[in-house]
Structure 1
Amino acid sequence: MTTRPHAPERTGSSNLRVLGATTVGTALEWFDFALYGALAGVVFPHVFFPNSTPAVAVVQSFATFGVGFLARPLGAAWFSRIADRNGRKRAMVLSLTMMGVVSLLIACLPGYNTIGVWAPALLVALRFLQGFCLGGEASSAQIMALEYAGNMRRGFYGAMVNFGNPVGQVLVALFLIAAGATMGDEALRSWGWRLPFVAGALIAVVGYFIRRKVEESPVFLEAREIGAQSATPIREVFRSHRPTIIKLILVWLPNTALSYIVSTYAISYIVTNLGMSSTLTFSLVLGLNLCGLVLIPLGGFISDKIGRKKLLSFSMPASLLGTIALFPLLDTKSVPLMFLAMLLSQGAQFISVGAMAAFFAEPFPTSVRYTGHASVYTINNLIAGSSAPFAAALLLSTTGTTWSIIAVVGTMFIIAFIALSRLPETRWDNFETNHGVDIATPATTAGAK
């Protein structure tokens, strides 16, 4: 038996610094990632695939979008050893630095008319690196916040990190709306799309210095002090926690697919299939993500009160109903109804995201917590996130009806409900005694049931 040391003291100011560093950094990374997704539907087909028909160019562009998800598991695997062996802070700082460099390189990338097929080839390579960086960023930031939160506020702290996702999307929408109003679609396609990538790279420098000042996770430091670390976290997590990983992935697949259909594919659908302006589309996305700024923290707060499973058992059926209504309401071309369609489908999903960080992290001990969370997060995005916009475009092109998209996502939700019913509630578990080793005199979990 190993004597349990006292965890490093948390203070209100240190917690606020951690929340600021994780949220700001995550917002910056999601800004770059979401920007690529938005431009993939309305700009990149013209810049990098000008010789294809409009429909084929959109499919090709979304295929490059999906490459970033292929890289996420590799990024998570590479950063997992850093985060679970050397600390969450080191992984956070490194991932943000790398993302800034990639963003600047994308901004400088010539188009097809300048360097021919090298343009889309280099775009794919940079998109791969972008996904690699995000594979390390998302989990390291979420785990850092969760381990600072204490046992009573993990849902809310994790939600505040994921709050960075709609913040990034809002910044992207604001830029694209401003660009459409001031420079027009032609200038945006010619050179304007490069400006936000440059801005993202410059702001990443600020994020780097913010994260450098944050102290390491107290839970990780305690685990390291008592020797509760794994030499091979990836091998251990898949050997000891494989059934849990599979169930968590199945639960979250439809949420991820629906999120990228609404935030990425719907942009292209509204512009290309419905013939409406890109400025209107970006305005709808802006309004949707402003709602997310409220709904994500609310979801985390509620999950701390009632538990992760109970929250998801209410939010996921609501997302399913929103999925069924999405395309019929978009097809009305009525702006209020189109916004309602996006809010119905994505609003409950925002609530779910509020619980996501804690839901993914709580089943795993400190020694493999980052690796477990990152495995679920990145594999889920690889399966559903990478394929959703591409598959939606392909389904519509093949079947001629959006009901084929709705049927696929609906089936995923049914499977998710079954998987959720077979998972335990982890809301009341204690991070500070769950290091993966026997510890004497464990602390009592506040609010444990």
Structure 2
Amino acid sequence: MVHRSGDEGSRARVLVGTSVGTSLEWFDFLLYGALAGTVFPYVFFPSSSSTAALLASFATFGVGFIARPFGAAFFARVTDRVGRKHTMVVTLTIMGVASFAIACLPGYAAIGVLAPILLVVLRFVQGFSVGGETSSAQIMALEHAPDQRRGLYGAVVNLGNPIGQVLVASFILGAGLAVGEEALREWAWRVPFFAGALMAVVGYFIRRHIDESPAFVEAREIGARSASPLREVFAEQGGSIARMAAIWAPNTACSFVVTTWALSYITSTLGMSSTVTFSLLLGMNVIGLALVPLGGVLSDRFGRKRVLATCMTTSMLGSFALFPLLDTRNFALMLLAMVITQGAQLTAVGVMAALFAEPFPVPVRYSGHAAVYTLNNLVAGAPAPLVAAALLALTGSPWSIVALLASMYVVSLALLRSAPETRWLPFRDNFGTSVGASAPEPRAERT
């Protein structure tokens, strides 16, 4: 029996299940990042040097990215052989448990060095979960999508990132205004982790009732499955994986500089309150809720490469205005700085799901997508806040950070220029020429 994409009702349920669950995953994961620069240095890393405490906190933030390849590798065989839906349910459960455990974790003052050790372990668990979640949810949506709307469907799932950011900023900002900044550092920071755990339960039941990917079901029925999908995709398309990861690297680095490290820059270097930082984060991501689907729609119309190149060029140019505008301490100008850089990046996020999935056939599609995604985040995402903090401490100037980001963008844009357009590749019926076959050669790019 051949399965095709379902009716509009089935597609709607899939989009709700993937996007809601992904939003909750990102809420839990990004919450840690937001607190790493503002709260955790005081709770888990007390030190005579505020810089040392901040560096230690950002180092544990990076552990989540180190864990992602382990999660991606673990779930590669499961997702490409057992199913997309199974992984989505399991990863959401893992994240909910980790979030609850962080909410209950005593600080350094209560249990000493055991507190940061346990925090590192739980951060690893969070990263492990996201390593399996992101690719499975995006591919589930893409494999249900009509061919002419893959960019949009992938973008809807990737709304989970700005939605997660909006929830994080709303929770922390609301807690800070309600109980004060001191209480936020002492106990109120735990509240959103508890809330995240409760929301994960809701997401679990939503995902249990969505349909499995029709492309995966068809691949299973005709026997088009790989015995070792991750090893196979690296062996046959390792160069494409490395190229796509390098192309996306500056987007990831810039995103975490703006949404994680810049928060500590605003509070520590500029001496402004965390209320300002989270208000900026909230405003930027509310705007991002419109930009992510816009990127998907534009990529369906004009192709992935053209939209991505425009977004990356805008973000690169915006990075030169980032610190001069932040240094004004004027809220409107600070928000403008973050919207130019991160807003362009969020528009590019609307392209990402389709871009990472389209080169790979169904039997190894999750493995290929996850390899690109996790490799990029490990190399560019994990060290970004730590490198930014170290560069500022070493040079005393934020322009060293801008120079690094600009250099990454120049290299990435050069690689993108030589990359094939993926918009026109066969997708739903692409099972490879045989079990274990690589993806077909790209068609000529349309204009």
TM-score range normalised by the length of the shorter chain: over 0.9
Report how far residue 438 of structure 1 moved: 5.3
Report how far residue 266 of structure 1 moved: 0.7
Q: Give the conservation status (yes or no) of the 8 Å contact 1:103–1:200.
A: yes
Matched, 1:21 2:28: no
Matched, 1:198 2:194: yes
Distance 2:302 2:370 in 1: 25
Query: Match for 2:222: what amino acid?
Result: I
Distance 1:321 1:338 in 2: 16
Name the counterpart of 1:233. 229
Query: Match for 1:311: what amino acid?
Result: V
Name the counterpart of 1:374. 370
Matched, 1:253 2:249: yes
TM-score of the pair, normalised by structure 2: 0.96
Name the counterpart of 1:51. 47
Distance 1:335 1:136 in 2: 37
Q: Give the conservation status (yes or no) of the 8 Å contact 1:429–1:448.
A: no
Q: Give the conservation status (yes or no) of the 8 Å contact 1:228–1:437.
A: no
From 170, 174, 177, the equivalent of 1:178 is 174
Runs of 4+ aligned residues of structure 1 deviating over 3 Å after TM superposition are none
Matched, 1:363 2:386: no
Name the counterpart of 2:63. 67
Name the counterpart of 2:127. 131
| Contiguous gaps of at least 5 residues in structure 2 | 436-442
From 281, 285, 291, the equivalent of 1:285 is 281
Distance 1:257 1:432 in 2: 32
Report how far residue 7 of structure 1 moved: 2.2
Distance 2:434 2:290 in 1: 40
Distance 2:414 2:268 in 1: 36
Query: Match for 1:167: what amino acid?
Result: I
Q: Residues 373-392 of structure 1: matches in 2 within 5 Å?
A: 373-392=369-388
Q: Would you say how many aligned residue pairs link Structure 1 and Structure 2?
A: 439
Report how far residue 51 of structure 1 moved: 2.6
In the TM superposition, what whole-angstrom CA distance separates every residue of 1:205-239 from its partner, at most 9, and x where no partner exists? Answer: 11000000011000111111111111001110110
Distance 2:214 2:51 in 1: 51
Q: Give the conservation status (yes or no) of the 8 Å contact 1:151–1:428.
A: no
Distance 2:32 2:140 in 1: 26
TM-score of the pair, normalised by structure 1: 0.96
Name the counterpart of 1:155. 151
Distance 1:162 1:47 in 2: 32
Q: Give the conservation status (yes or no) of the 8 Å contact 2:224–2:434.
A: no
From 287, 301, 305, the equivalent of 1:305 is 301
Name the counterpart of 1:343. 339
Distance 1:20 1:37 in 2: 25
Distance 1:421 1:228 in 2: 33
Query: Match for 1:217: what amino acid?
Result: S
Q: Give the conservation status (yes or no) of the 8 Å contact 1:75–1:133.
A: yes
| Contiguous gaps of at least 5 residues in structure 1 | 440-444
Name the counterpart of 1:437. 433
Distance 1:169 1:296 in 2: 13
Q: Give the conservation status (yes or no) of the 8 Å contact 2:5–2:143.
A: no
Query: Match for 2:259: what amino acid?
Result: S
Report how far residue 52 of structure 1 moved: 3.9
Name the counterpart of 1:93. 89
Q: Give the conservation status (yes or no) of the 8 Å contact 1:329–1:337.
A: yes
Matched, 1:244 2:230: no
Report how far residue 315 of structure 1 moved: 1.1
